[in-house]
Amino acid sequence: MSSENAENAGPEPIEPLAPGDPAPAAGPTGPSADAATGASADTPTDAPTDGGPEAGPDGEPASADGGDGPEVWDVVVVGAGPAGASAAYAAAVAGRRVLLLEKAELPRYKTCGGGIIGPSRDSLPPGFELPFLDRVHAVTFSLEGRFPRTRRSRRMLFGLVNRPEFDAQLVEHAQKAGAQLRTGATVTRVEQHGPSVPDRRTVAVVLADGETVLARAVVGADGSASRIGAHVGVKLGQVDLGLEAEIPVPPSVAEDWKGRILIDWGPMPGSYGWVFPKGDTLTVGVISARGEGAATKRYLEDFVARLGLAGFEPALSSGHLTRCRTDDSPLSRGRVLVCGDAAGLLEPWTREGISYALRSGRLAGEWAVRVAEAADAVDARRQALNYAFAIKAGLGVEMAVGRRMLSVFERRPGLLHAVITGVRPAWKAFADITRGSATLGGMVRSNGLARRALDVLDKRMDTESGVGPAGRGVTRKDEEDAAAPEEAAGAL
Ligand SMILES: Cc1cc2nc3c(=O)[nH]c(=O)nc-3n(C[C@H](O)[C@H](O)[C@H](O)COP(=O)(O)OP(=O)(O)OC[C@H]3O[C@@H](n4cnc5c(N)ncnc54)[C@H](O)[C@@H]3O)c2cc1C
């Protein structure tokens, strides 16, 4: 694990597990004045009640009343993407009875570049072998196709995977740790009180066919259109639309891209495009703020044409929304925790989400174990707040810096292009972040130069553009900056 990963840097949990209880696999962190005072957006809905019995045969749910009553799982995880598989793995490895519910059959396709940066690699279960299709050593940056500049690195920057394969492998690891998987199981809602809930320590997970599954704790990892997120009341501050095409190419074209990606700063504020090579296929995509669907589609078409790839028939074209939580968005409600895209946990600037899903999923699984053990609502609330604290102390801090970067990028993509391609420390920072030897948040916190550079960029944006965070896309000044990167960077 990178030393920069702040989610492991918090204080100890308020109440340690009793001796003999399996500890979470890796360092949950804890609160918090919040837990003591109860002041938090993560509000419980259940009230203190008697506990139910536990203990069933290994890997099988126990009954709610200790007798012939309905079966109860310790932890039910909804959604088997990276977040859900990580949560299921973490809870199962702690010896708990875990059920992973997935609506699709696996392996399933997911619209995604499949870029695996250092923090993702650091968050994988032990023994996980990454199914890399390519290893990135060079990045070409361009501004709407112009001013291309390629930066190279002897050491690998990050790797590229096919999501169906990667996700299925993660699920297999969770299963090997003891989690049970049910595919073709669409969850329609969760209930924390009412006739389907046998007692206040139990959550009812209702499937599309009407079946109800019971759990002591639920982890919602059902992606960016999350039903569990809606139950928890996740609040979203940024929604973007990503469009992608998987384009099979002949060997000569594939060879040209091997080990190199392209990042193109796009025409709409905050938009960018990418080419990620994966052997005989290129993943070509663009992302931009939601609400500009036609312009985003046009950007992808122009981008593909400009790259000379329009003649190759895509094997698959798809779109998917990405969503970022607001700072005060809840991460739990009662005995239900949310993680990954379902919680709106995503890097706001790059929209990188796999490492956020893996990291938050692992924490959610670890803390769900404690929620499952909680004897009453007060304890369940305390454990859920511990989870929220761990997320806010780590990924929350990263997201705050990412939002500032997005704000600069939205207003002056050309300046950013100039800095990243023309200033050696900026390129080194990009390389270190993708490799996982540093985080953006850690850099801004501990590196005076990085902090000053961001402050100056922020200030220049305010004084020069006079526009709000909605930005204005590529301007003439951007073009001047991009054409003369050293000069632009020097002016900082
Ligand atoms: C165009 C695009 C490109 C991207 N490229 C990258 C990239 O290169 N690198 C990167 O790090 N991130 C990338 N991301 C972001 C990344 O794909 C997500 O952040 C990541 O997949 C989140 O993982 P997750 O497990 O939270 O959700 P998901 O991967 O979406 O998994 C959610 C799972 O829940 C299941 N599910 C949904 N609803 C239900 C239900 N009701 N009941 C049961 N199961 C359900 C789904 O079938 C799915 O399997 C990209 C996103 C987009 C849109």
Q: What is the per-residue pLDDT across 38-55, written as a single tens digit (0 to 9) for each?
A: 333 444 443 333 333 333
- What is the mean predicted confidence (pLDDT) over 318-325? 97
pLDDT score, position 48: 32
Which residue minimizes the CA distance to atom 27 of ligand 1? 223
Ranges of beta strands (E only) in 334-471 are 336-338
pLDDT score, position 26: 38
| Cβ-Cβ contacts under 8 Å for 209 (sequence gap 6 or more) | none
Q: How far is the CA of 221 from the centre of ligand 1 (A)?
A: 9
| pLDDT higher at 97 or 471 | 97
For residue 240, is pLDDT > 60? yes
Q: Give a yes or no: residue 175 inside a domain.
A: yes
pLDDT score, position 44: 40
Q: Give a yes or no: residue 422 inside a domain.
A: no
Spatial strand order of the sheet with 138-143 comes to 146-152, 138-143, 260-265, 272-278, 281-289, 236-248, 316-325
For residue 242, is pLDDT > 80? yes
Closest ligand 1 atom, residue 353 Cα = 19
Q: Which of 94-98, 378-382, 461-465 shows the lowest mean pLDDT across its residues? A: 461-465
* Phi and psi, residue 382, nearest 5°: -60, -45
Ranges of beta strands (E only) in 108-233 are 115-116, 134-136, 138-143, 146-152, 158-160, 180-182, 187-191, 203-207, 212-220
What residues make up the domain containing 331?
A: 6-108+164-235+326-399
pLDDT score, position 62: 73
Rounded Cα distance between 26 and 90, Å, is 8
Which secondary-structure segment (H or E) carries 485? helix 485-490
- What is the mean predicted confidence (pLDDT) over 291-305? 97
Q: Give a yes or no: residue 474 inside a domain.
A: no
What confidence tier does 25 reach under pLDDT thresholds 50, 70, 90? very low
Taking 3-state DSSP, the helix, strand and coil percentages for the chain, each rounded to the nearest 5, stand at 40, 20, 40
Q: Which of 43-57, 214-228, 271-285, 398-412 shows the lowest mean pLDDT across its residues? A: 43-57
* Phi and psi, residue 201, nearest 5°: -95, 5
Rounded Cα distance between 10 and 30, Å, is 6
pLDDT score, position 478: 64
Q: Are 430 and 117 in contact (CB under 8 A)?
A: no
For residue 387, is pLDDT > 60? yes
**For residue 143, which of 421, 436, 448 has the smallest C-alpha distance?**
421
Helix (H, G, I), strand (E, B) or coil at 421: helix
Q: CATH code at 225? A: 3.50.50.60
pLDDT score, position 340: 98
Class of residue 448 by CB neighbours under 10 A (exposed 0-12, middle 13-18, buried 19+):
exposed
For residue 185, is pLDDT > 60? yes
pLDDT score, position 471: 47
Closest ligand 1 atom, residue 83 Cα = 25
| pLDDT higher at 296 or 39 | 296
Class of residue 458 by CB neighbours under 10 A (exposed 0-12, middle 13-18, buried 19+):
middle
- What is the mean predicted confidence (pLDDT) over 78-107? 98
Rounded Cα distance between 114 and 92, Å, is 26
pLDDT score, position 197: 95
Q: What is the per-residue pLDDT across 49-88, written as a single tens digit (0 to 9) for each?
A: 333 333 344 566 776 556 667 799 999 999 999 999 999 9
| pLDDT higher at 30 or 198 | 198
Q: Which residues line ligand 1 (CB under 6 A)?
A: 78-84, 101-104, 108, 110-115, 186-187, 221-223, 227, 242, 244, 285, 287, 320, 322, 340-342, 346, 351-355, 357
pLDDT score, position 10: 29
Q: Are 270 and 288 in contact (CB under 8 A)?
A: yes
Q: Find tokens 């949990």 and name the residue.
A: 13
End-to-end CA distance of the chain: 34
Strands 146-152 and 138-143: antiparallel
Q: Find tokens 């361009």 and name the residue.
A: 142
Q: Give a yes or no: residue 304 inside a domain.
A: no
Q: How far is the CA of 176 from the centre of ligand 1 (A)?
A: 22
Q: Which of 20-29, 264-273, 356-365, 438-447 shows the lowest mean pLDDT across its residues? A: 20-29
pLDDT score, position 54: 39
Q: Are 109 and 165 in contact (CB under 8 A)?
A: no
Pure H helices in 191-325 = 227-232, 251-257, 293-306
Q: Give a yes or no: residue 244 inside a domain.
A: no
What confidence tier does 310 reach under pLDDT thresholds 50, 70, 90? very high
For residue 101, is pLDDT > 60? yes
- Side-chain half-sphere of 109: how many Cα atoms within 13 Å? 10
Q: What share of the chain in percent tops pLDDT 70? A: 78
For residue 441, is pLDDT > 50? yes
Strands 316-325 and 236-248: antiparallel
Q: Hey, which of 108, 222, 234 would you mutate to test ligand 1's pocket, going by the most ligand atoms within 8 Å of its Cβ?
A: 222
Closest ligand 1 atom, residue 342 Cα = 26
pLDDT score, position 59: 63
Q: Give a yes or no: residue 395 inside a domain.
A: yes
Q: Hey, which of 288, 351, 363 would you mutate to test ligand 1's pocket, going by the most ligand atoms within 8 Å of its Cβ?
A: 351
Q: How far is the CA of 112 from the centre of ligand 1 (A)?
A: 8
Q: What is the per-residue pLDDT across 156-184, written as a single tens digit (0 to 9) for each?
A: 999 999 999 999 999 999 999 999 999 99
Closest ligand 1 atom, residue 115 Cα = 8
| Cβ-Cβ contacts under 8 Å for 53 (sequence gap 6 or more) | 62, 63, 64, 65, 66
Q: How far is the CA of 164 from the centre of ligand 1 (A)?
A: 11
Residue 392 DSSP symbol:
I
Total structural domains in the chain?
A: 1
pLDDT score, position 211: 97
pLDDT score, position 13: 32
**For residue 116, which of 107, 126, 129 has the smallest C-alpha distance?**
129
- What is the mean predicted confidence (pLDDT) over 378-388? 98
Q: Find tokens 């199914």 and name the residue.
A: 131
Q: Give a yes or no: residue 352 inside a domain.
A: yes
Closest ligand 1 atom, residue 287 Cα = 1
For residue 107, is pLDDT > 80? yes
Closest ligand 1 atom, residue 222 Cα = 34
Q: Give a yes or no: residue 431 inside a domain.
A: no
pLDDT score, position 6: 34
* Distances in whole angstroms, Cα of residue 113 to Cα of each of 4, 239, 245, 286: 24, 18, 10, 10
For residue 445, is pLDDT > 50? yes
What is the average pLDDT value for the chain, to the nearest integer?
Answer: 85
pLDDT score, position 395: 97
